[in-house]
């Protein structure tokens, strides 16, 4: 999941029927020349895209009958933009899609199934929980390219100066440690990004989620959810914690503060590894500590995210075949190894965790944290629930609403997205 989640989701677009996908591929070909497919890459244009561009050239060299039109699309715009073009014309043949987009895109008829194709030929070599997350109603619609979760990133030097010898195992320990950092170093101990995605560990830590899809029940205002958000609220009120940033630049501001040693710890994922190592505080890469998130009363938990490569259902047969070859190449073990080594992100297949990859401490640490990753509920509206949650979460964290009142308001908003779900 990424980092500036789309602020709004065009839910209405999910109702567009599959017949709307007949606009065809934005790629081109003729009888005598190579087929050209279009790929929308949603990776970070500054820190990650260069690796993918290099792999595109490698693919074209290995497949001279296929050309790839590379297009960088900002992650925050990609979901809505794809929904718009997939319902008319101009859609890319291949999209790098957040794992949470799959159910909605499938139900709208936008994605082609990949079972039995070249794209899925090595699906048995992938982590099977990630393959399951790329399925909808039993069919495979994507091939996992990178995976991620959230961990506690911390500045080892600041922790040492504060007398902290190990990362906190509970949220109460985090509060105590952050007060020590502030007292001993003068630096803020912890900063929190008030996006719904980053609040999920506080729900998972109490054994709950936003919804229970199996029971068709909204759980956002359950006692466990209230306890989880109460815990988050208490963390942000603790001594040594940086004042909550609710501006539109909060994400960038928090990362800048952490990267330059002005805050000691944050909740973040491996997609920021390459960026963090450019910061003044982490010129020595060994100064970056990464640990599993502190536990709530029910244990640890963090959202299991990442990106799949998906194929557009409206492309013709020739473009579909070329897209499948491209997806297979980009998710192969050698490609995933290159991506991991260059970008510091996590592969999705076991044979890509080579000795070189696991030697990188930032990858090894997040790989261990994956065991506590919680997959998203398999419903099209799940990502939209984040958008429904965020304004009320900010109200809670800025004391405009109590956790109970804020979660009741979020549950009411969720009910509008999921009218057939019970809202106790």
Summarize pLDDT for 206-245 with one digit per residue, the tens.
Answer: 999 999 999 999 999 999 999 999 999 999 999 999 999 9
Please report, rounded to a whole number, the percentage of residues in the chain having pLDDT higher than 90. 86
Residues 188, 217 contacting (CB under 8 angstroms): no
Q: How far is CA 129 from the centre of its chain?
A: 15
The reported pLDDT for the residue numbered 30 is 53
Per-residue pLDDT, 1 = 43
The pLDDT, as a whole number, for residue 31 is 57
Instruction: Inform me whether the pLDDT recorded for 158 exceeds 50.
Output: yes
Question: Which band of pLDDT confidence, cut at 50, 70 and 90, is reported for residue 7?
Answer: very low
| The predicted structure's pLDDT at residue 296 | 96
| 3-class SS of residue 290 | strand
Q: What is the three-class DSSP state of 323? A: helix
pLDDT at 299 over 70: yes
Buried b / exposed e across 386-401, counting CB within 10 Å, b at 16+? bbbbbebbbbbbeeeb
- Which domains, and CATH codes, for the chain? 11-148+306-374 (3.40.190.10), 151-303+381-417 (3.40.190.10)
pLDDT exceeds cutoff 90 at 29: no
The separation between CA 277 and the C-alpha centre of its own chain, rounded to angstroms, equals 20
Both tokens of residue 209? 């989620």
Q: Kindly state the average pLDDT of the residues 17-31.
A: 46
Residue 27: band (very low, low, confident or very high) from pLDDT cuts 50, 70, 90: low
Average pLDDT over residues 167-178: 98
What is the rounded distance in angstroms from the CA atom of residue 182 to the CA atom of residue 163?
Answer: 12
Q: What is the DSSP secondary structure assignment for residue 279, as one 8-state letter? A: S
CA 79, 83, 86, 88 dihedral sign is: negative
pLDDT value, residue 12: 38
> For the chain, what percentages of helix, strand and coil (3-state, to nearest 5) are there?
45, 20, 35
For 375, the token pair is 């997959």
* Cα–Cα distance, 289 to 157 (Å, whole number): 9
**CB-CB contact of 56 with 335 (8 Å):** no
pLDDT in tens, 109-145: 999 999 999 999 999 999 988 999 999 999 999 999 9
Mean pLDDT of 53-63: 98
Question: So what's the pLDDT on residue 172?
Answer: 97
Between CA 36 and CA 200 the distance in angstroms is: 41
Q: Looking at the predicted structure, is the pLDDT value of residue 33 above 80?
A: no
Q: Is 63 exposed, middle or buried (CB count within 10 Å of its CB: 0-12, 13-18, 19+)?
A: middle
From CA 302, how far away is CA 295, in angstroms rounded? 10
Mean pLDDT, the chain, integer: 92
6 band by pLDDT with thresholds 50, 70 and 90: very low
Q: Torsions phi, psi of 367, nearest 5?
A: -60, -40
For residue 24, the model assigns a pLDDT of 47
Beta bridge partners of residue 267, listed in sequence order: 152
What is the DSSP code string of 222-272? SHHHHHHHHHHHHHHTSTTBPPP--STTHHHHHHHHHHTTSEEEEEE-GGG
Task: Provide the total of helices (H) and of strands (E) in the chain, helices listed first.
Answer: 16, 15
Beta bridge partners of 152: 267, 291
- Residue 23: band (very low, low, confident or very high) from pLDDT cuts 50, 70, 90: very low
Contact (CB, 8 A) for 16 and 300: no
pLDDT tens per residue, range 236-294:
999 999 999 999 999 999 999 999 999 999 999 999 999 999 999 999 999 999 999 99
Query: In whole angstroms, what is the distance from residue 14 CA to residue 118 CA?
Result: 28
Pair of tokens at residue 118: 């070249």
The mean-pLDDT minimum among 125-134, 171-180, 323-332 falls in 125-134
- The pTM for the full model equals 0.87
Average the pLDDT over 37-66 and give the result. 96
pLDDT above 90 (res 341):
yes
The model's confidence at residue 32, banded by pLDDT at 50, 70 and 90, is: low
Quote the distance between the C-alpha of residue 366 and its chain's center: 13
Tokens of 360: 């990188």
Query: Cα torsion for 219, 224, 225, 229, to the nearest 10°?
Result: 180
Q: What is the pLDDT of residue 73?
A: 97
Tokens linked to 233: 């609220």
Query: Mind giving me the DSSP string for 80-115?
Result: HHHHHHHTSS-B-SEEEEEGGGHHHHHHTT-B---T
Which tokens belong to 135?
Answer: 């399925």
Of the chain, the percentage scoring pLDDT greater than 70 comes to: 92
> Is the pLDDT at 369 greater than 90, yes or no?
no
């Amino acid at each position: 999941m990424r980092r500036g989640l789309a602020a709004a989701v065009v839910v209405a677009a999910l109702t567009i029927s599959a017949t709307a996908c007949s606009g065809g591929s934005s790629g081109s070909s003729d009888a005598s020349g190579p087929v050209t497919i279009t790929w929308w890459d949603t990776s970070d244009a500054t820190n990650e895209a260069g690796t993918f561009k290099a792999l595109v050239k490698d693919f074209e060299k290995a497949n001279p009958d296929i050309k790839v039109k590379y297009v960088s699309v900002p992650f925050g715009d990609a979901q809505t933009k794809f929904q718009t073009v997939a319902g008319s014309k101009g859609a890319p043949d291949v999209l790098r899609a957040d794992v949470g987009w799959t159910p909605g895109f499938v139900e709208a008829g936008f994605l082609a199934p990949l079972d039995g194709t070249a794209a899925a030929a090595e699906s048995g070599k992938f982590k099977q929980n990630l393959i399951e997350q790329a399925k909808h109603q039993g069919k495979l619609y994507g091939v996992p390219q990178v995976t991620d979760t959230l961990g506690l990133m911390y500045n080892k030097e600041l922790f040492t100066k504060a007398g902290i010898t190990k990362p906190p195992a509970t949220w109460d320990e985090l509060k105590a440690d952050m007060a020590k950092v502030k007292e001993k170093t003068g630096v803020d101990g912890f900063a929190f990004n008030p996006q719904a995605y980053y609040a999920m560990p506080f729900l998972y830590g109490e054994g709950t989620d936003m919804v229970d899809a199996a029971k068709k029940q909204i759980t956002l205002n359950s006692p466990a959810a209230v306890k989880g958000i109460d815990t988050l609220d208490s963390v942000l009120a603790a001594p040594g914690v940086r004042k909550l940033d609710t501006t539109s630049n909060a994400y960038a501001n928090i990362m800048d503060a952490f990267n330059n040693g002005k805050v000691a710890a944050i909740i973040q994922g491996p997609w920021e590894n390459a960026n963090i190592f450019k910061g003044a505080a982490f010129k020595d890469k060994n100064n970056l500590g990464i640990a599993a998130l502190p536990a709530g009363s029910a244990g640890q938990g963090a959202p299991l995210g990442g990106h799949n490569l998906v194929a557009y259902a409206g492309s013709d047969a020739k473009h579909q075949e070329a897209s499948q070859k491209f997806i297979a190449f980009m998710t192969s073990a050698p490609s995933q190894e290159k991506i991991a080594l260059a970008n510091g992100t996590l592969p999705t297949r076991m044979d890509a965790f080579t000795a070189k990859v696991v030697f990188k401490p930032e990858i090894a640490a997040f790989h261990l944290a994956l065991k506590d990753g919680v997959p998203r509920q398999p419903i099209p509206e799940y990502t939209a629930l984040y958008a429904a949650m965020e304004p009320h979460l900010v109200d809670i964290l800025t004391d405009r609403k109590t956790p109970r009142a804020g979660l009741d308001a979020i549950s009411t908003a969720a009910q509008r997205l999921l009218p057939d779900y019970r809202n106790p």
